[in-house]
Structure 1
Amino acid sequence: MNLKSMLARPFATFVYNKIKKGMETAVADQEAIFKHLIKSAAGTEFGKDHGFSDIHTFDQYKQQVPIRDYEDLKPYINKVKEGKDNVLWKGKPIYFAKTSGTTSGVKYIPISKDSIDNHIDSARNALLCYIAETGNSAFTAGKMIFLSGSPVLERTGGIPTGRLSGIVNHHIPKYLRTNQLPSYEANCIEDWETKLDRIVQETIKQDMTLISGIPPWMQMYFDRLNQLSGKKIKDLFPHFQVMVYGGVNFEPYRGRLFDSIGGKVDAIETFPASEGFIAFQDSQHVEGLLLNTNSGIFFEFVPANEIFNENPTRLTLGDVKVGVNYAIIISNNAGLWAYNIGDTIKFVSTDPYRVVVTGRIKHFISAFGEHVIAEEVEQALMSAANEQHAKITEFTVAPMVQQEKGQSYHEWFVEFETLPFDMREFAQQVDINLRQKNVYYDDLIAGNILQQLKITQVRKNGFIDYMKSIGKLGGQNKLPRLSNDRKIAEALQPFLA
């Protein structure tokens, strides 16, 4: 064990103990953050427009600050982009995190000198909790790879602007720089496949101990390594011990990823977003991610089925219940106020507050009133896949609306690594599983409004080629699981098996 590994353990224990104490004061910490945010931003343009100096309670806040999405906040963002200060938060942001929106085009999310620690420390804390719980710090002595966006930053109104992962790359501690891969030059390559080839060249002969990224892009990395070496990842990197992932639900990718790895590694899940680092896995032995309740973010939770209502129920942390699907609303020390980040979660525990990510608010199917969500389709598909020993590479679902009653159905576009034994039986089982999870879908099938779902097979690497065709291959880009229209379905036609 080298010096770095030895020093990591006492530091991890120190931080882990602080985090455990914070579990006991989560509700009080949220109240303190709320008061601090309101007081700190009272003199900003947004604070003056919304009477922050008169807000002393959450009820007053709800009355004076409606829930917003990016389009609602855009007039203020535009003023910041024009170079004005004290608009949403004190001074100016130190960065804009640039992200693609499904309805807003490119979004510019402010990161302030007060909020940057939330992004940096939370990722660090996930690793430190792992070290403190398992005692394993040996991986810190090896090479670590972070599959991320380019660290090259442009300027918007004088403010450095780029992908969140690229921004975070500038804040990796010096003691990890010597371990970090790929090289800065490789990370700056914009074309994902060119970048991936360079990453493979730089890492294939290294002692990789930690690999981090979004699951579908980690899978592409593993596939390239396998093609070049003919080896499983664990044979290629015998000291590979820790895989850190986030951005999408891991379960649909789990089977194929671990098959590619070919041996045991520990996995750590994180829930980062451009708007803030929401939660991270603090234990290898319990379900869920620990909510970041003392990191500059004040959380509200809206029952997901109310999020599009004119006056939805807005709850604080102390009022949430286990098992309810909530939309996450945040206010933070970068100047986002009652901001709908678009993700939904469920609490699996309130002592401490741990969550699982269930999907995206705008990613659902309700063409017939069924309101099927990502969590339901993922569980329905993976359960059937496990029964038939099928392996799923990627999938998405769209409605097929027909004029004649009883002719409409859900069309599932699925790319298989390993096909099920019987495709007809497989589709039937997926349908049964979904009916058991969603009563509205079950009613539509039982009432002959919908036919049983149909599975359309996507050819090998079809989804990769589709993402490439729309300029969204690699980085932080993710395929929507669900759509309410046929745009993705039609675009996938050239990529079918």
Structure 2
Amino acid sequence: MNLKSLLAKPFAGYIYNRIKKGMETAVADQEVIFKDLIKTAKDTEFGKDHGFENIKTYEDFKKQVPIRDYEQIKSYITKVKQGQANILWKGKPIYFAKTSGTTSGVKYIPISKESISNHIDSARNALLCYIAESGNANFTEGKMIFLSGSPELDRVGGVPTGRLSGIVNHHVPKYLRSNQLPDYETNCIEDWETKLDKIVQETINEDMALISGIPPWMQMYFDRLTQVSGKKIADLFPNFSVMVYGGVNFEPYRAKLFDSIGKKIDSIETFPASEGFFAFQDSQNAEGLLLNTDSGIFFEFVPAGEIFNENPTRLSLKDVKVGENYALIINNNAGLWAYNIGDTVKFVSTKPYRLVVTGRTKHYISAFGEHVIGEEVEQALMKAANEDNVKIIEFTVAPMVQQGEGKSYHEWFIEFENAPSDLQGFIEKVDNNLRQKNVYYDDLIAGNILQKLKITPIVKNGFIDYMKSIGKLGGQNKLPRLSNDRKIADALQPFVNQ
């Protein structure tokens, strides 16, 4: 055991105990953050426009500050991009996180000197909680890789601008910098496949102990390593013991990833976004992610079915309930106010406040009033896949609307690692699982408004080729699980396994 792992354990214990204390004060901490945010921003342009000076309670805030998405605050962002100060938050941001999110075009998300610690410390705390609970600090002695976007930054309105993962790369602590791969030049390569080949060259003979990234791009990394070496990842990296992931639901990728690795290793789930680091897995033994209740973000929760209403119900943390699906709304110390990030969550516990991410507010199918969400399709598919020992590489679902009673259906585009021996039987299982999850879908099938779902197999690497064709291969890009139209479905036709 070297000095890093020796020092990591007591520090991990200190942070872990602090986080456990924070579990008991989550609601009180949220109230303090709310008051601090309002006080700090009352003299900004946004604060003056919305009467922050007169806001004393959360009820006051809800009356004066409506829920918005990026397009609805874009006029304020534009002023910040032009170099103006004190618009959304005091002074100017220290970064813009540039993102081409799935629910909007290119977005410029401000990061302030007060909010940067939320992004950095939360990632650190996820690892420290793991060390404190498991006792495993050995991974700090080996090499670590964070599959991420380029750390090169441009300037917009004088503000350094780039991908969040690239910004965070500049804040990796010095004591970890010597362990980090790939090198800076490789990380700056924009083309994902060129970058991946270079990452494989740099890491294939190293002692990789921790690997982090979005699951589909970690899978591509593992596939390329095995292709070059002919070995399972566990044989290639015998000290690989921790996998850190986030960005998408892990379950559809779990079986294939662990099969590629060749052994069971610990994994840590995180819930980061350009707008903030919202939650992380604090325990290997408890379901869900611990909400980051004392990190500069005041959270609001809207029942998911109301998010597009003119005056939806808005709840603070103390009023949430286990098992309800909520749209996540944030207010942070970089100047995002009543901001709909587009994700839906469901609490699995309120003592402490742990949640799971259930989908995207704009990713659903409701062509016939069924309002099927991401969590439902993922669970329906994975239950059938586990029963039939089928491994899924990637999938997406779209409606097929056809004239005539009982002719329309949901079309599932699936790339299988190993296809089911009885495809029709597999379809029956997935369809029945979805009917059990969604009563509206069940009624439409029973009433012969919809016919049973259909599965359209995708060729090997078809989704990779599709993402490449639209310029979104690698990095933080994610394939939408659900669409309420046929845009993705039509674009996938060249990749259908005939």
Aligned-residue sequence identity (percent) comes to 80
What corresponds to 2:182 in structure 1? 182
Q: Is 2:425 the partner of 1:415?
A: no
After the TM superposition, which residues 207-218 of structure 1 pair with which residues of structure 2 at under 5 Å, given as runs?
Answer: 207-218=207-218
| TM-aligned CA deviation for residue 264 of structure 1 | 2.0
- CA drift of 1:103 comes to 4.9
Q: What's 2:54 paired with?
A: 54
C-alpha displacement of 1:403: 1.2
Map Cα deviations across residues 80-106 of structure 1 (whole Å, 9 max, x no partner). Answer: 001100000010000000011345310
* Residue equivalent to 2:98: 98
CA distance in 1, matches of 2:383, 2:141: 38
Query: Aligned-pair RMSD on alpha carbons?
Result: 0.5
2:442 is aligned with 1:451 = no
Distance (whole Å) between structure 2 residues aligned to residue 101 and residue 259 of structure 1: 30
Counterpart of 1:138? Answer: 138
Alignment CA distance shift 1:103-1:356 (3 Å): closer
Partner of 1:471: 471
Which residues of 2 match residues 95-494 of structure 1 at below 5 A? 95-494=95-494
Mapped to 2, the partners of 1:382 and 1:265 lie a distance apart of: 20
8 Å contact kept, 2:397–2:410: yes
Task: State how 1:12-31 maps to structure 2 within 5 Å.
Answer: 12-31=12-31
Given the superposition, is the C-alpha separation of residues 80 and 6 from structure 1 closer, same or farther in structure 2, using an over 3 Å criterion? Answer: same
Structure 2 counterpart of 1:81, one-letter code:
K
* Inter-partner Cα distance in structure 1 for 2:104 and 2:418: 37
Aligned to 2:32, the other structure's residue is in SS state helix
Give a deviation string over 1:33-88, Cα, whole Å, max 9, x none. Answer: 00000000000000000000000000000000000000110000000001100000
Query: CA offsets, 1:469-492, max 9 Å, x none?
Result: 000000000000000000000000
Report the secondary structure of 1:399's partner residue: strand
Alpha-carbon separation, structure 2, partners of 1:354 and 1:113: 27
For residues 288-332 of structure 1, give each alpha carbon's deviation from its aligned partner in whole angstroms, at most 9, with x where no partner exists.
000000000000000000000110000000000000000000000
Q: Does 1:72 align with 2:72?
A: yes
Distance of 2:75 and 2:102 partners within structure 1:
19
Q: Unmatched 5+ residue regions in structure 1?
A: none
Alignment TM-score, normalising by the size of structure 1: 1.00
What is the alpha-carbon distance in structure 1 between the residues aligned to residue 477 and residue 104 of structure 2? Answer: 15
Q: Distance in 1 between matches of 2:261 and 2:368?
A: 41
Runs of 4+ in 1 over 6 A off after TM superposition: none
| Other structure's SS at 1:244 match | strand
Structure 2 unaligned residues grouped into runs of 5+ = none
Q: Distance in 1 between matches of 2:302 and 2:249?
A: 21
SS of alignment partner, residue 240 of structure 2: coil
> 1:245-283: CA deviations, max 9, x gaps?
000000000000000000121000000010000000000
* CA distance in structure 2 between the aligned counterparts of 1:289 and 1:40, rounded to whole angstroms: 29
Superimposed CA distance per residue, residues 357-402 of structure 1 (whole angstroms, 9 cap, x where no aligned partner): 0000000000000000000000000111111111000000000000
* TM superposition score normalised by structure 2: 0.99
Aligned equivalents of 2:385, 2:138: Cα separation in 1: 36
Give per-residue Cα distances to partners, 1:142-199, cap 9 Å, x unaligned: 0000000000001111100000000000000000000000000000000000000000
The 1-side partners of 2:95 and 2:66 are apart by: 25
Determine the C-alpha separation between the residues in 1 that align with 2:337 and 2:490: 37
Is the contact between residue 102 and residue 480 of structure 2 (CA under 8 Å) also seen in structure 1? Answer: no
One-letter amino acid of the structure 1 residue matched with residue 215 of structure 2: P
